[in-house]
Chains A and B, each alone.
Chain A
C-alpha cells in the first residue's frame, strides 16, 4: 500500500530541500483530481474511505513540502532525526535570540513604529534565508550540523510570527 511512501515519493519529487514550487503545485492538483472524495461521491463506502485517507495524506504532504521549516524538519525525520523539545544551543546563538527578542519588544513598547517593524521583519527574512542556505549545504555534509540549523530556523520562524502578529495589532486587523 502506497501509504508507506514518503511525501516526496507521493509527489514524484526527489528527496531534496530545494523543491520546484511550480512542479509541486501542479502535482498537487493532479493528485487531488484523482483521489479527492468528491470523485467518489457515487462510489462504495470503501472507495470513499480510501479517498478520504488519500486526500488527507496528499494535503498533509503538500503542507509539509511547500513551507521551508516543515520541509526541513521532515527531511531530517527521513534521516531518523527526531528533534528535541528543549535543545541545548550554543551560547552565541542564545545571545542573538535574547537580542532579537529585545529589539522586537522595544518596537512594541515604543510608539509602535511600523517602519522600524518592517525593517526588522526584512532583517529577519534575510537571516532566515541565510540559515536555509546553510541548512541545504549541511544536509550533504553533516546531519548534526543540519539539525542545529533547524533549531535556529525554528527560533527565527517563531520570532517572525511574533513580528507579524505585532504588525496586525498595530494595523488593528
Chain B
C-alpha cells in the first residue's frame, strides 16, 4: 500500500526530540501495529517479516503463545486457544452464555461479573488475553524503534460501548503501555484516507471486520475530520459469514448432534477458507470429514450469497440509519471507503456500491489502513511537532440514558452527540431525610431498560437530609474524548458535593486489576521504588517541556516580566529536584508547578479562542487588552 508521507522529505527531524508512538489495530481476527518514522506511517513487521498478528492466544502449561504459532493449534487445542477474544471484551457472563454455540470455551464468573475462560494454565479474563496480544505488539515496536514506547493509540469499533472501551483500556494497563487515546476504527481509516487522497468533503467509511461492523460518515474540511454520524453492530462481522457456511455444511451433512469444540473450531476454520475462495472463484469443492461431520460437495457463490444476504442487508440498514442521523442526503457523500478484510466478499462490494450509488474505494490495503491512521494520530498526541493541523472531532456512538420509574430508559445524551460532551440532569429525593440515591446508567436506543446495556450504577451519597422533594441534586454526565463516561453530583441548594461511587456492570474491579498487575511477572521482578522514580521523572519532564514551550511561545505576550521569570525559575527548580532520587518530592514539585502555571494556561486558552475568532496572532494581542479581562 502507498506509504503515507506526512512531512516534507528532507525536513530534519531531531531524533532526540521525537517520542516513540504507535497505533494499534486490536482486531477480532488480526492485529497490527504501525508507527510514523521519518515522516512516513507504516505497519511494523516481526523478525519473520509478518505484519499481521493473528489475534489468537494459546495457554499451555509451559507458557503463553501469541499469533501464528498459536493459530496452528487452534483446532487441536481449541479449549486453550483463545480466538476472537474481542467479542468477549466488556461483556458480562450472561451475554457470553448466549454466544456458547459460537465460541467453544468453558466460562465461569469472576468477582465483577466478567467471564473467565478456563484454560489449562488457569482462568483468564478476556482483558488478560487482549493484554497478551498488546504486549506482543508493543515488544515488536520497542525492538523496531529501539526503545520503549511513550504512548499508543488503540483503535476500537466506533460502536463499542463504554464497557467494551473500558475493557480495552484495562488491557493496555495490564500490558504496561500508556494509552494516548482510544480511537474509533472508521475515524482512523478516514485519517489514512484523508491524508492519502487530500480530498475534502463527506466520506462514508464502511468497516466490516471479523467481529464488528461500523459505518461512519465524516466531513473532512480545513484539516478537521468531523464525524457526522456513526452506526453499526458490535456483533456482526466476517465470523458470522463463516458461521453461516458452517451451519450450511452441518445441515447438508445431516449431522444432528451438538458440536464439540474441536469440531466447531475445525468447521469454522474450513468455512473461512471456503469464504475466501469464493471471492475469486464462482464455486468451491468441499471435502470435510472430521469427528463424524462428513460433507462432500460444492458450494457456489449464488448459494453463499443467499446464506449471507441477511447479514449484508443488516449492515446496509445501519448505513441508512447513519445517513439519516447525519442529516445529509446520499448525494452529498463524495466517496465510500471499504475497510476490513471482510469487505473483500463480492456481495458486500456490490450492495455497498448499490446503496451509495458509487464505486467504493479500496485502493488502500483494507487490513492495514486502521493501524496506519492510528499511528498518525499517535504521532500527534504524543507531542511530536508537525506541520499538519489535523484534528479529529468524534461523536458518542450510543445514547446514554437513565433508568426511570417503570423500567423505562430516559435518554440523557443522544447518540451522535459531539464529544467531549456534558449534560446535567436534575433529581430530587422521594423520602424525607433521604441521603443517598442510586442512578442506573444505560447505553442504547431502546425504550425499556431491559433492552439497553447496563453501563454502571452510580451511588450518590452525602445528600443533606431534607423534606422529600426539596433536594435539588444536579448530576453532571461527562463524556471525554475517548467516549468514556464519568459522573459528578451536587446538591444545588446547599452546594454540597455528593460522593459518587461507580459500580461498573461488567468491569474488572480495582482489586482484580491490582491483583493482576501484581501477579504479572514483570512487575514482580522490578523494584517498586525504582519504577516510581522513573514514572515521577517522566511526568516532571513532560510538564517542564510543555511549560517551557508555552513560555517560549506566549510568555512575552501574555505575562508580566516578573511572572514570566517566576515561572521560569520554578521550571528550573523542578529540573533540579528531578535529578534527585526522591520520587515523592518530584511528584509534589510537578503538582505545584502545574498549579502555579494554571493562570497562565487560562490566559493562553482565552487568547487562543480570541485568535480563532479574529484570525490574529497571539503576539499581536495587546497585553493591556488582556489585563483588562482579568
A residues contacting B by CB (< 8 A) are 1-2, 10-12, 26-27, 29-39, 41-47, 50-52, 54-56, 59-60, 62-63, 164, 168, 171-173
Contacts and interface: CB of A to CB of B under 8 A. Distances in A.
A34 B617 CA distance: 12
Nearest to B480: A52
Interface stretch (B29-37, B219-227, B516-524, B558-566): B219-227
A44 B543 contact: yes
Contacts of A168: 321, 324
A2 B609 contact: yes
Interface in B282-322: 317, 320-321
Contacts of B320: 171, 173
Nearest to B393: A32
B602 A38 contact: no
Contacts of A56: 420-422, 478
A37 B481 contact: yes
B546 A38 contact: no
Contacts of A12: 613-614
Interface of B: 180-181, 221-224, 226, 317, 320-321, 324, 380-383, 389, 391-393, 417-422, 478, 480-481, 542-543, 545-547, 550, 593-595, 597-598, 601-602, 604-606, 608-609, 611-614, 629
A41 B180 contact: yes
Nearest to A11: B613
Contacts of B478: 56
A42 B542 contact: yes
B597 A44 contact: yes
A41 B604 CA distance: 15
Interface of A is mostly: helix
B597 A41 contact: no
A31 B612 contact: yes
Given A42-B383, A44-B547, A46-B594, A33 B602 contact: no
A20 to B, nearest CB: 14
Contact of A29 (B180, B222, B419, B602): B222
B484 to A, nearest CB: 12
Contacts of B550: 43, 47
Given A33-B612, A50-B601, A63 B480 contact: no
Contacts of A39: 391
Nearest to A9: B613
A60 B381 CA distance: 24
A31 B222 CA distance: 12
Given A59-B420, A60-B422, A35 B609 contact: yes
Given A42-B542, A50-B605, A51-B605, A59 B612 contact: no
Given A35-B609, A46-B594, A46-B597, A41 B317 contact: no
A88 to B, nearest CB: 23
Nearest to A40: B546
